[in-house]
């Protein structure tokens, strides 16, 4: 099926759709609950509070160094559950396909979803496929939803952050956003930046087991700036970030300088930001660094006593400036 | 905001997105769990087996007599849970918006989702919004996922169907598919057919409480023909349908004749098909008819002893013909 393409019949509810679903999705995802092809999948959940999340993925291009739209969709949903303190367990996936999409590309995305789901230890148990005519969508969009369980005793939230708390990031910022921009090729650049796209649920489980955590987020759209501004608003305190302490790869910094972008606003898809009590900061950093997904973790800031809900950056030049909420950043379709 | 439109900034993770989410979705959906704006919603589930489903909606046009893409998305997901025997409880919704979409249209869709969710007694607790450039999507796509609970003791499936079982439908077939085709206006027809789009969870709960049910499905893409062929395959028996007993509105029949379509293949979005033991058929019919959503229910067929997995239609002319599986029906984007 090397030059086979998606046709409208693949979305019509008929035999063509059944064949596509059986030969491609059922075979690749290889899950007994999915294979029942019933209207709803039946789940078994561990003790605790069920958690539920969803994300639509429209990234352009759908394949980029370090990942693709399928890996992004699985990791994005797994990570939303993970940073909420949940153990991700089940995923749904809904495809919107443009007529004419190469079936080989769809198969590649499906395989990538399966690999990523296995890596995260989650099951893809239900799905849907719609096909729209040529020109009514751009290649393929993937929407995943996820169900997980928050173990008893876990309580997280920006409103739990206290003065003196420390802010950590699990690795360099902006690799994902920069990789996608770079992969578009329009820039005439070749930085060979790879996306950081990866599941974070083992890292979050380890961190939650090791230290008391106030809040966790994954800095996707809007980057670190968006997360910290939300937290400053939620806890009503000033958050101070030490620019020199924030890990940013040289290639990402270079691309940002060329394009007039700020890595603090670039999306990551495999990093987390955590706020922990001062006394737990050293252990938290060690815990993150002990996992391959957090090897380059860093302590980047702290929560001040000041009751102004804002984020202040202590610059490498010794000055300071406000790290504003992102307004309308010029980076559509990086996720 | 009458002539305001969706811009790329509405999907960028910045202030414009925050304003859109707060002023439109949070206000309309009015749910405390959604309003937390955390990465995942926390659920409380009743005793029983959790169930999970998803559907993407790409209907063209997004507004049609009897419904719109928002109502369709809520009802479609509620109904997938309901026919699996679950009580729907929570929905997620992910929007993919084309740059330039009128915000008034988006607000209308959101209000319709809220009205439909209230009607079904479910909560919209998490969501996502992405914006793609003009031309990269057709107005708006909505993907919903749903979580519900299958009460203890409920077991359904096409493989549970036995010879002698009766087949019921909860109302006239094809209203939805015909309404959407009609609403496209390309046909130069004005049949004023309204979609049957409605939540079915109260109807399914009533039916499950009243009689033993073998299997239930909602005949969406591929219509009644798709459901019965799946069941025939699952139970390995012939299913015989009495054409004269199947309710089809005159306007739908008229449109089908004009277009060379068969109402047995047209999608419904507010009908269910049920298989029940012969002894329960009369009670099942009475139960369906007692609910406004099943007022026009009918007994339409039975499962024969014959061990050939096929669906046979006894025609109004006294003959019989195979009701084949749908191949590639010429009806894209009706859901």
| pLDDT, averaged across chain A | 94
Determine whether the interchain pair B136/A137 forms a contact, defined as Cβ–Cβ distance below 8 Å: yes
Q: How confident is the model at residue B189 (pLDDT cuts 50, 70, 90)?
A: low
Q: Which one of B33, B38, B73 makes the best mutation probe of the A interface by having the most chain A beta carbons within 10 Å?
A: B38
Average pLDDT score, chain B: 94
Three-state DSSP at A305 gives coil
Residues 6+ apart with CB under 8 A from B249: B172, B174, B175, B193
Tens of pLDDT, residues B303-333: 999 999 999 999 999 999 999 988 765 577 8
Cross-chain Cβ contact A327/B14 below 8 Å:
yes
Tell me the nearest-neighbour CA distance from B178 into chain A, angstroms.
Answer: 15
- Contacts of residue A310, defined as CB under 8 A and 6 or more positions apart, other chains included, come to A229, A232, A238, A239, A322
Tell which of A6, A14, A331 to mutate to test the B interface (max B CBs under 10 Å). Answer: A14
For residues B304 and B238, is the Cβ–Cβ distance under 8 A? Answer: yes
> Which token pair is B141?
């796509």
How far is A111 from A335, CA to CA, in rounded Å?
19
With a cut of 70, say whether residue A155 has pLDDT above it: yes
Helix (H, G, I), strand (E, B) or coil at B19: helix
Helix (H, G, I), strand (E, B) or coil at A306: coil
- Tell me the shortest Cα–Cα distance from B235 to chain A, in angstroms: 14
Residues 206-265 (A) with a CB less than 8 A from some CB of B: 217-218, 220-223, 226, 230
Instruction: Report which of A171, A295, A158 is spatially closest to residue A227, judged by C-alpha positions.
Output: A158
Residues of B in contact with A16 (CB under 8 A): 327-328
Kindly state the helix (H) or strand (E) to which residue B130 belongs, with its residue range: strand B123-132
pLDDT of residue A244: 97
Separation between Cα atoms, residue B14 and residue B2, nearest integer Å: 22
B34/B124 Cα distance (integer angstroms): 7
Its sign, for the CA torsion B186, B188, B194, B200, is: negative
How many other C-beta atoms are found inside a 10 Å radius of the C-beta of residue A122? 23
The stretch A94-112 carries a mean pLDDT of 98
Average pLDDT of the segment spanning B210-222: 96
Give contacts of A129 with chain B, Cβ < 8 Å. 56
Residue whose pair of structure tokens reads 């809520």 in the numeric block: B74
* Radius of gyration, alpha carbons of chain A: 21
pLDDT, average across residues A128-139: 97
To test the contact with chain A by mutation, choose from B5, B12, B131 the residue with the greatest count of A C-beta atoms within 10 A, namely B12
A11 shares contact with chain B (CB less than 8 Å): yes
The single residue listed with the structure tokens 């439909």 is B116
Q: Report the C-alpha gap between A237 and A94 in whole angstroms.
A: 40
Collect all residues of chain A within an 8 Å Cβ-Cβ radius of residue B57.
130
Q: Could you tell me how far CA A184 lies from the centroid of its own chain?
A: 20
A91–chain B nearest CA distance, Å:
9
Phi-psi region of A114 (alpha: psi -120 to 50; beta: other; left: phi over 0): alpha
Q: Beta A311-314 vs A239-242: how paired, if at all?
A: parallel
Q: Do the domains A158-322 and A8-150 match in fold?
A: no
- Reading the block at residue A162, the tokens are 């206290």
Angle at CA of residue A333, ends A328 and A334, nearest 5°: 95
pLDDT value at A1 more than 50:
no
Q: Does the A8-150 domain belong in CATH 1.10.8.60?
A: no
Question: Chain B residues with CB inside 8 Å of A201's CB?
Answer: none
pLDDT for the residue numbered A325: 87
CA–CA dist B109, B62 (Å, integer): 9
Could you tell me which residues are beta bridge partners of residue A91?
A: A124, A146
CATH homologous superfamily for the domain A158-322:
PurM-like C-terminal domain (3.90.650.10)
Listed in sequence order, the residues at least 6 apart from A267 whose beta carbon sits closer than 8 Å to its beta carbon are A174, A176, A177, A219, A220, A221, A222, A223, A331, A334, A335, B13
Radius of gyration, alpha carbons of chain B: 21
Q: Find residue B242's DSSP bridge partners.
A: B314
Phi, psi of A92 (to 5 degrees): -105, 155
Which residues numbered 91-110 in A keep a CB inside 8 Å of some CB on B?
A: 92-96
Q: Which of B228-242, B295-309, B321-335 has the lowest mean pLDDT?
A: B321-335
Q: Is the peptide bond before A61 cis (omega within 30 degrees of 0)?
A: yes
pLDDT tens per residue, range B248-276: 999 999 999 988 899 999 999 999 999 99
Say how many Å lie between the first and final Cα of chain A, rounded.
29
Residues of B in contact with A147 (CB under 8 A): 50, 52, 147
pLDDT (mean) for A165-175: 98
> CA-CA distances (angstroms) from residue A284 to A55, A212, A247?
28, 9, 17
**B321, exposed or middle or buried, with CB in 10 Å at 0-12, 13-18, 19+?**
exposed
Task: Please name the residue ranges forming H helices in chain A.
Answer: 15-20, 27-29, 32-35, 69-83, 103-120, 175-183, 201-210, 223-235, 250-259, 281-289
pLDDT tens per residue, range A270-288: 999 999 999 999 999 999 9
Q: Which of A105-119, A212-226, A231-245, B181-195 has the lowest mean pLDDT?
A: B181-195
Residue ranges per domain, chain B? 8-150, 158-322
Tell whether the model's pLDDT for residue A191 goes beyond 80: no
pLDDT digits (tens, 9 = 90+) for A19-60: 999 999 999 999 999 998 888 999 999 999 999 999 999 999
Return residues 275-294 of B near A (CB < 8 Å).
none
Residue A105 C-alpha, separation from nearest chain B C-alpha, in angstroms: 18
| Cα separation, B268 vs B123, whole angstroms | 24
Q: Is the sign of the CA dihedral A329, B14, B72, B283 positive or negative?
A: positive
Name the E strands within chain A: 41-42, 49-57, 63-64, 67-68, 87-98, 123-132, 140-150, 166-169, 215-217, 239-242, 273-276, 298-303, 311-314, 320-322
Per-residue pLDDT reduced to its tens digit, B59-97: 999 999 999 999 999 999 999 999 999 999 999 999 999
Q: Are A18 and B56 in contact (CB under 8 A)?
A: no
């Amino acid at each position: 099926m090397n030059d086979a393409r998606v046709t409208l019949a693949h979305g019509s509810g008929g035999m063509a759709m059944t064949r596509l679903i059986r030969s491609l999705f059922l075979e690749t995802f290889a899950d007994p609950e999915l294979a029942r092809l019933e209207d709803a999948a039946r789940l078994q959940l561990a003790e605790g509070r069920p958690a539920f999340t969803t994300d639509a993925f429209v990234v352009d291009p759908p394949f980029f160094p370090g990942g693709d739209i399928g890996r992004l969709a699985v990791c994005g949903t797994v990570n939303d559950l993970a940073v909420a303190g949940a153990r991700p367990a089940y995923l749904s996936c809904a495809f919107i396909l443009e007529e004419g999409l190469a079936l080989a590309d769809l198969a590649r995305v499906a395989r990538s979803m399966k690999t990523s789901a296995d890596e995260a230890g989650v099951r893809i148990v239900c799905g849907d496929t719609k096909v729209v005519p040529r020109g009514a969508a751009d290649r393929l969009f993937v929407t995943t939803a996820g169900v997980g369980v928050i173990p008893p005793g876990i309580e997280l939230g920006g409103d739990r952050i206290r003065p003196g708390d420390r802010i950590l990031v699990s690795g360099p910022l902006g690799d994902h956003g920069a990789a996608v921009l770079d992969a578009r090729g329009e820039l005439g650049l070749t930085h060979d930046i790879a996306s950081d796209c990866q599941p974070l649920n083992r890292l979050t489980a380890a961190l939650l087991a090791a230290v008391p955590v106030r809040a966790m987020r994954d800095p996707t759209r809007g980057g670190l700036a968006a997360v910290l501004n939300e937290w400053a608003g939620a806890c009503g305190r000033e958050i101070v970030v030490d620019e020199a302490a924030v890990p940013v790869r040289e290639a990402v910094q270079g691309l940002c300088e060329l394009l007039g972008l700020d890595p603090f606003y670039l999306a990551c898809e495999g990093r987390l930001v955590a706020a922990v009590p001062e006394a737990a900061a050293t252990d938290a950093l060690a815990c993150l660094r002990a996992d391959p997904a957090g090897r380059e973790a860093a302590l980047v800031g702290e929560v001040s006593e000041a009751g102004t809900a804002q984020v202040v950056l202590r610059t490498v030049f010794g000055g300071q400036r406000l790290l504003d909420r992102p307004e309308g950043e010029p980076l559509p379709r990086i996720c």
